[in-house]
Structure 1
């Protein structure tokens, strides 16, 4: 497989999509702080993995199976911020109904039928088996389709994970598995630029027949390049790929006092850094753009203002339509 690095135009587009994901995630925290939703499955820190991989998906042709943190995936595939907020608010209403019946709380389940996005189940790792099944059907039909399945590092210890990998390898299926490994507590900040943290995979977790790559998931160029290679590998009939992406998450440091005034914002702790190498995917992407001479402060400021305005409008509309539908 040849290296496929992003062009300047693609890099700017990737930054734009990551910024959109961050702004929508900020608004989700605001909904949580306001009491409109009970919890947030934040994608903060995952943006490079989610956007850099999802932008390589052929929307409407390939199949995508996200997991509950994959806000950046569904936004990149084509879900609008309004649809995201309506989904969160509707899910909250369902949770309240289920809680009255004594049901256990569950995570966000993304689904977007018109773009071949499959709603994830509650049990961890079962979406990987579903992905292998979809890829098997695609291969039998000789369709030019790749299936992409996402999971967190907790999924790699499940029996469904092992079975999904085994089945995909045995049948050389056109599928890409992506693991978003949270390395917040184990990344060696003193050697951030040269050393990735330990893998989350159990010993001998991947059978022969699966291509494997471990990647710095805070580096949008590394993610995009690896995903393009994996998609090409699958489309050419070579079989499945497992991409293990190391990321770090940042949590809100301060939730400002909220009334029902949504003009307030959540404040976050700054990302950890070492010798100018930052864990925050947006900051790292900005550095890459600056190094290539394609960063423009005026462009970035205008982009941020426009996106915040559009997302704010989507949030207000989603709240209005949800409250009116009660």
Structure 2
């Protein structure tokens, strides 16, 4: 398989986009702590998986079907921090008005028509079927378009998951499936520095005709390289690829509704004590930049200050506009 590693410029850009995703995620947590929203679907720990894959998407040409945790994906392909905050706040308002369907939780339904981002549904894994249909239409039209469908490891137990992969393999569709597997329960004292935890897939899950690769999803270089190859394979008409990205989520999957008392919040859950270097995607990317002589403390400090200022302004604007629209 051909290797397409990121250049020094791309690696720095990957770091910047991951930093943006982290800062935005932290501000979403603040919205929760202050009682503006009562649920958080955090992307903390997913940054390398989401940014490293999404940066390979041809925005406006390819179709992207994110799942509810893919905040880093939508930011990378063009959604602004302001739009992310407005989406979170709008989801909360719909929940309060009883307009969010049967779901009791205000999940984010990411969608952006001008960027070909398809709004994700509430039922787990159904977006994979939608993605297979879009890819089938692209193939019939002989368009150089790739469809990218994201999911979490919980989706792999659904029938829609298996049907989507089988259909894509049978018809050789131009599609890339990406599963972000939370491996936090498998972490031990040695973590997965030398080997990955067990796959979330059953042995029979990968049909003939579907390329499969399991990757350390905390390594943005590995994710980017695999995704570039998968996109090239699909765009040249050589069929679908499934990428399983193993990562360590450092915040809880499910949060209790905010009660108004900060002491009752579900607290931030850090990764294992020696996981900072191994599991935090931002730290790993920083080490890669340092090893290649590309890291500059002044550049990093200026980047962080600028992004925090811009994101804070976007947060305040989103709160103002949301409150004014009530």
TM range (shorter): over 0.9
Aligned equivalent of 2:172: 172
Contact preservation (8 Å) 2:91, 2:107:
no
Give the distance between the partners of 2:70 and 2:101, measured in 1 at CA: 28
Equivalence map 1:112-131=2 (5 Å): 112-131=112-131
Q: Does 1:246 align with 2:260?
A: no
Aligned equivalent of 2:211: 211
Aligned equivalent of 2:155: 155
TM-score in terms of structure 1 length: 0.92
**Number of equivalenced pairs:** 315
Give the distance between the partners of 2:212 and 2:102, measured in 1 at CA: 42
- Structure 1: unaligned runs, 5 residues or longer: 253-257, 261-265
The structure-2 alpha-carbon separation of the partners of 1:23 and 1:275, relative to structure 1 and needing over 3 Å to count, comes to closer
Contact preservation (8 Å) 2:100, 2:106:
no
- Structure 2: unaligned runs, 5 residues or longer: 253-257, 261-265
Contact preservation (8 Å) 2:65, 2:148:
yes
**Cα offset, 1:2, TM superposition:** 1.1
**Cα offset, 1:202, TM superposition:** 1.4
Contact preservation (8 Å) 1:146, 1:175:
yes
**Cα offset, 1:190, TM superposition:** 1.4
The structure-2 alpha-carbon separation of the partners of 1:290 and 1:21, relative to structure 1 and needing over 3 Å to count, comes to same
Give the distance between the partners of 1:321 and 1:137, measured in 2 at CA: 39
Give the distance between the partners of 2:163 and 2:103, measured in 1 at CA: 29
Q: Which runs of 4+ in 1 moved over 3 A?
A: 99-103, 266-277
TM-score in terms of structure 2 length: 0.92
The structure-2 alpha-carbon separation of the partners of 1:224 and 1:118, relative to structure 1 and needing over 3 Å to count, comes to same
Give the distance between the partners of 1:161 and 1:269, measured in 2 at CA: 30
Aligned equivalent of 1:255: none
Aligned equivalent of 2:221: 221
Contact preservation (8 Å) 1:183, 1:197:
yes
Give the distance between the partners of 1:62 and 1:100, measured in 2 at CA: 28
CA RMSD of aligned residues (A): 2.1
Give the distance between the partners of 1:42 and 1:100, measured in 2 at CA: 19
Aligned equivalent of 1:296: 296
**Cα offset, 1:275, TM superposition:** 8.7
The structure-2 alpha-carbon separation of the partners of 1:297 and 1:159, relative to structure 1 and needing over 3 Å to count, comes to same
Structure 1, residues 265-299: CA drift from partner, whole Å, max 9, x if none?
Answer: x9955543549842100000000000001001111
Structure 1, residues 130-151: CA drift from partner, whole Å, max 9, x if none?
Answer: 0000000000000000000000
**Cα offset, 1:192, TM superposition:** 2.4
Give the distance between the partners of 2:124 and 2:322, measured in 1 at CA: 29
**Cα offset, 1:99, TM superposition:** 7.4
Using the TM superposition, name which of 266-275 and 16-25 deviates more.
266-275
Secondary structure class of the residue paired with 2:98 = helix
Equivalence map 1:105-116=2 (5 Å): 105-116=105-116
Give the distance between the partners of 1:100 and 1:303, measured in 2 at CA: 37
Structure 1, residues 61-114: CA drift from partner, whole Å, max 9, x if none?
Answer: 000000000000000000000000011111110000117998633421100111
